[in-house]
Amino acid sequence: MKVHNFSAGPGILPAEVLKQAADACINFDHLNLSLLEISHRSKNYEKVMDEARAIVKELFEVGDDYEVLYLGGGASLQFAMVPYNLLSENGSAAYVNTGVWATKAIKEAKIIGTTHVIASSEDKKFTYIPKGYQIPSEADYLHLTSNNTIYGTQMHAFPESPIPVVCDMSSDVFSRKVDASKFDLIYAGAQKNMGPAGSTMVMVKKSALGKTGRKMLSMLDYQVHIKGGSMYNTPPVFPIYVTLLTLQWLKANGGIAWIEDLNNKKASLMYNEIDRNPLFYGTVATEDRSKMNVCFLMKDPTMEAEFDSFWKAAGISGIRGHRDVGGYRASLYNALPLESVQVLVDCMKEFERKKG
């Protein structure tokens, strides 16, 4: 039976990418050596790194004023690296708190320097995106989290900002068109839309760096990693290669315009069923619903165990909600086909027919 993988992360990858990656583990680039056992300093792998960095800039449509890095440590390390590299010793940073990961980013920034939470949706358990807040013009940067995997909210528009903007796009990067030139720094853990777990993409405007006034630890300094071509130390070789394959798959199929249209169709299909089906209801403000992580609950929680058996029997995997929210969460990442969403919707319809 085909498994329909709605995992929130690590998320689904394209089948052809998995096949290419598996082949590279046996014989990479016709070397009769595994990708896992060649030097990251070899010309064969340097080409991978160069292409993986270049394709990010191509998909984001930015120029040479930006640099792309692939680093370890996940987005969690970026929670510290961002303020370490951008927050000046006598300055301040502005953060918008829209969920668990934004909260963690705020915690790390406060250790580095003065940090202000200028807007938050914590008052309603992060079920909406704050709007209409004032951005302090004196702050060094504004930090946003574009999509919230746990609570299922997403920024469908970004505020006009008088200061540099940083965005954690871990769970919706390359899922839709954004004007990347409006951001000084974008970072994203790869394991949802870009590739497997193990690497984090950072795209940073070079002019934003070198202004903090502090002495920098080498491994936490973006400029050191830029100078080293994102290979100051041994990079996460395999995850970066699979990320390259995934972004090549995206480009070959029609790029951002193609995937945005597909993602809109998937999200519409899911939300239309949630709104129609009397057994279920959505958990967040309608205008802020995420197109990546669709969170919903059963009106009668006592039916959950029976519904769980129902969807598992249909070959569906990974839709149980996060422990902080409960219920269900269908993650509609780029590689998830529309057909899988239809299977889940049909399952919900059939369960309604039997139990409604």
Token pair recorded at residue 78:
């970026």
- DSSP-derived letter for residue 122 is G
Is 101 labeled as catalytic in the residue annotation?
A: yes
Per-residue CA distances from 256 to 58, 247, 250 (Å) = 11, 10, 7
Whether 221 is catalytic: no
Which of 49, 13, 57, 22 has the alpha carbon at shortest distance from 237?
A: 49
User: Minimal CA–CA distance to 5: which of 285, 346, 331?
Assistant: 331
Nearest to 192 by CA among 311, 51, 75: 75
Q: Which of 140, 168, 184, 221 is catalytic?
A: 168
Choosing from 172, 192, 266, 288, the catalytic residue is: 192
| Residue 266 annotated as catalytic | no
Strands (E), 246-322: 280-282, 293-298, 316-317
**Among 101, 249, 288, 291, the one annotated catalytic:** 101
- The 10 Å Cβ neighbour count of residue 228 is 13
DSSP-assigned beta bridge partners for residue 180: none
Active site residues: 101, 168, 192
